[in-house]
Amino acid sequence: MNLLSLGMVRVGVCSPELRVADVEFNTQKIIEALNQSSNDECAVMVFPELCITGYSCADLFYQPSLLQGALRSLILIAEQTRVLKCTAVVGLPIAIGGTLYNTAAFVSFGNILGIIPKTFLPNTNEFYEERWFSSAFDCTVDSIIIDRKVVPFGSNLLFQAENVPDCIIGIEICEDLWSVIPPSCNQALSGATVLINPSASDELLSKYDYRRGLVQSQSARCLAAYLYAGAGAGESTTDVVFGGHSLIAENGVILSETERFEFSTQIVYADIDILRLTNERRRNNTFTASNRTNDFRIIPFTINDSSLLKRSISQSPFVPQNSADRTQRCREIFALQSTGLAKRLRHIGCSSVVMGISGGLDSTLALLAIIKTFDKLGLDRRGIIAISMPGFGTTSRTQSNAETLAVSLGVTLRIISITDAVRQHFNDIGHDETNQNILYENAQARERTQILMDSAHQTNAIVVGTGDLSELALGWCTYNGDHISMYGINSGIPKTLVRYLVEYAADTDFNSVGTILQDILATPVSPELLPPDTNGRITQKTEETIGEYILHDFFLYYTIRLSFPPKKIYVFACKAFDGEFTPTEIKKWLRVFYQRFFSQQFKRSCLPDGVKIGSVALSPRGDWRMPSDASVALWLKEIDEL
């Protein structure tokens, strides 16, 4: 499936090898880079500020030979985009009568479609641009003649791809980004989803981080992609050094960036997601409510397609890939959980909680978070009443882990078997115990919830639920059973992240019970509602029934957080899980995800309170509002057509 059909476009930024004032050499290197980018199926390539001449020409900008040579080179570069069927943005000085401008030229498929002059000219410290150039504020024309053709000129130009209407490009130049209100802000508000900055920012100590942060934050503020191409080490070093720092960001995330301080041409690409950006804008009422100007001129162009998705896609979008980031994320989540529960306990004047402990991942995480809450409040851990409720499917392994963990952490442990009570219930309603159907399973879950609720009343406590976000998404919980509690401490955490949180706890604050936690991590995920095998091992493995959580969390993230359609999620999943799951398996479980997600909304419509953790949440009082009887037919049809 090609990129354009996914609402995506491949773009690139380039810091080409350069010689100051050697227009022919620079043009050759720009054309070589365009040829390379064409081979890599790049649709839009961005080059640095004044890249045709070099940024550091100084008073040579007064030389007509340099200016005329630059204009001839622009025509050559435009012709090359016709041959390659591509689009490029290049920087050059342009004279209009007695005025000189620092400009960026937008060239596409052989045409020079527009010239954008720089608005804010730095004239402090090492910069002297006002000595040579005039600002876009001083411009009195809206077009110029180049190669006997009328070319739009001005800072009010936007370029819209006719074959991808949501791909609208706005251009600002270097210092424009450093201004109080960068031109790209108004460009974004007027529809630009791709912001381009040809730049010549020199290198100073710590400037790398500052520049990177600016690009990152501007892409986030504007809900846009931001392409920044910096002038390289070939610029003059009379007083400063240039590093060629070029980078691509999308909505606050750096997708790729070049090596600095290289004399050879440096190119990086990214597959930017136009569909994602437009979705983000639709759901962001702050963006849609902002004042916008309507004086931009929209210039159409055609964008070429790319045949293969090359974007790096994580299998676990909820889990940071960097270990340091992951550690920080885990620390933050525990802080959110413990603060949320602490506020609730303080508000109601409660110093005791009841929870069910099973020896599984979710109840383990809940117990650890509750302990952190009690320690934060200075409460006695014995006020945490952890109730183990063995039933028909409970194995000795999980039972032992639950009991040992509770005792080792100094909480109050109660063991209450549900077997006799459930059997009595079966007799009361006339159910044959050998019929191990959904009633057989759910009766156990509801009996456990009844014990927890009544125990809470008995001890003047509240019941803290242990169910996680992934289970809520799939409806893998018993209505009025484990679905209900007085506070859901895990309700904002997906299963894949639960695992990392328990691992983090085993290595840090709870390393005294690290061995137990590691065995819990190694235990198959199961509600243990069906009897174990003859060797006492778990037979009911959740992921064999509904699919692996790593897939469902992937589907959940892209369905809810990014509003992707099924076909795009499928392509992303095939890329992320290549070699681990076949396309047929991915399609099968994607279908299961949508069927369960739509059919189980009624459980999410009456969720108990619970702390919001990340950008995906399913509480009807917060992020997610969906009718319980919405039809899934449209989404299933799209999956069936894959």
List pLDDT tens digits, range 330-339. 999 999 999 9
Contact between 101 and 57 under an 8 Å Cβ cutoff? The reply is no
Q: What is the pLDDT of residues 234-254, one digit of tens each?
A: 999 999 999 999 999 999 999
Q: Which residues contact 563 (CB under 8 A, 6 or more apart)?
A: 279, 283
Task: Round to whole Å and give the CA distance between 538 and 543.
Answer: 12
CA angle 325, 15, 33 (to 5 degrees): 115
Task: Round to whole Å and give the CA distance between 118 and 463.
Answer: 62
Classify strands 225-230 and 247-250 as parallel, antiparallel or unpaired. antiparallel
Query: Which amino acid type is present at position 538?
Result: I
Contact between 77 and 88 under an 8 Å Cβ cutoff? The reply is yes
Mean pLDDT of 101-116: 98
pLDDT (0 to 100) of residue 244? 97
Classify strands 168-171 and 157-161 as parallel, antiparallel or unpaired. antiparallel
pLDDT (0 to 100) of residue 542? 83
287 falls in which pLDDT band (50, 70, 90)? confident
Q: Encoding tokens for residue 513?
A: 């019970």
* Percent of the chain residues past pLDDT 90, beyond the cut: 92
Q: What is the pLDDT of residues 505-537, one digit of tens each?
A: 999 999 999 999 999 999 988 877 788 887 788
CATH superfamily, with its number, for domain 323-640 = HUPs (3.40.50.620)
Task: Round to whole Å and give the CA distance between 500 and 35.
Answer: 45
544-550 long-range contacts, CB within 8 A, separation 24+: 546/474, 546/476, 546/592, 546/596, 547/588, 547/589, 547/592, 547/593, 548/589, 549/470, 549/494, 549/495, 549/496, 549/525, 550/315, 550/316, 550/496
Mean pLDDT of 275-291: 88
313 falls in which pLDDT band (50, 70, 90)? very high
pLDDT (0 to 100) of residue 634? 97
Task: Look at residue 295 and tell me whether its pLDDT is greater than 90.
Answer: no
Q: What is the pLDDT of residues 71-81, one digit of tens each?
A: 999 999 999 99
Task: Look at residue 293 and tell me whether its pLDDT is greater than 90.
Answer: no
Task: Look at residue 291 and tell me whether its pLDDT is greater than 80.
Answer: no
Sheet of 353-356, strand order: 412-415, 384-388, 353-356, 462-465, 487-488
Residues 490, 492, 496, 500, Cα dihedral to 10°: -60
* Percent of the chain residues past pLDDT 70, beyond the cut: 100
Task: Look at residue 294 and tell me whether its pLDDT is greater than 80.
Answer: no
Q: Which residues contact 212 (CB under 8 A, 6 or more apart)?
A: 245, 247, 254, 257
Task: Round to whole Å and give the CA distance between 167 and 463.
Answer: 50
552 falls in which pLDDT band (50, 70, 90)? very high
Mean pLDDT of 297-322: 94
Q: Which residue has the tokens 């270097």?
A: 174
Q: What is the pLDDT of residues 446-473, one digit of tens each?
A: 999 999 999 999 999 999 999 999 999 9
In whole numbers, what is the pLDDT of the chain averaged over residues? 95
Catalytic residues: 49, 118, 174
Mean pLDDT of 491-500: 96
| Third-level CATH fold of 9-301 | Nitrilase/N-carbamoyl-D-aminoacid amidohydrolase (3.60.110)
Task: Round to whole Å and give the CA distance between 44 and 38.
Answer: 9
117 falls in which pLDDT band (50, 70, 90)? very high
Q: What is the pLDDT of residues 193-215, one digit of tens each?
A: 999 999 999 999 999 999 999 99
Q: So where are the chain's domains?
A: 9-301, 323-640
Q: What is the pLDDT of residues 366-391, one digit of tens each?
A: 999 999 999 999 999 999 999 999 99
Helix (H, G, I), strand (E, B) or coil at 388: strand
